[in-house]
Amino acid sequence: MALKATIFKASLQVSDMDRNYYGEHSLTLARHPSETDERMMMRLLAFALNAHERLEFGKGLSDTDEPDLWQKDLTGSIVHWIEVGLPEEKRLIRASGRADRVTVYAYGRGADLWWMSSAERLARAKNLTVWRVPDDMSDSLGRLAERSMRLQCTVQERHIWIGSSAATVEVEMTMYRAE
């Protein structure tokens, strides 16, 4: 018998002063049995940083044809394809042909090595932006995970704070590459 996804509920309040975006989102996150709390919370961070009324979670680990998150327009065209972790170069090249924008939030011990080995081949993806989230920060985000969460995310001058009533994590990302 296959293991089922664990369902998490999040109430996410976003105040993104850099994009002039303010909103509250009621989210349901299905954590795949092989997914860690850290990866799930990285998906939630990616949602907060790109929050939009049409942004939604893809099937992620369950479906290789869908990203972790994506935003589509009214015609079904992909406006923004978002991945977390260390996706395969081939997947990102294909995504850059299908979407107007592609963003990766890389994290984990192998992120720097992944980028050094992938950067040259990904140079042809002109619409690709890659961010690096430090290991200690992604790990701290993972510790915020609860089955029912109330989180606030504030973004101001590229500084990010995400937290609950119990703890707050400051996230300082490094840009590997801008589109």
pTM of the model: 0.94
Average pLDDT, the chain: 94
Q: Please tell me the predicted confidence (pLDDT) of residue 2.
A: 64
Domain boundaries in the chain?
37-146+158-163+173-177
Select from 44, 49, 73 the least CA-distant residue to 129.
49
The tens digit of pLDDT for each residue in 42-60 reads 999 999 999 999 999 997 6
Percentage of residues of the chain with pLDDT beyond 90: 87
Which amino acid does the sequence have at 100?
Answer: D
Q: How far apart are CA 82 and CA 66, in angstroms?
A: 10
The second-level CATH assignment, the architecture, of 37-146+158-163+173-177 is Roll (3.10)
Instruction: Give the full edge-to-edge strand order of the sheet including 21-31.
Output: 21-31, 6-16, 148-156, 159-163, 168-171
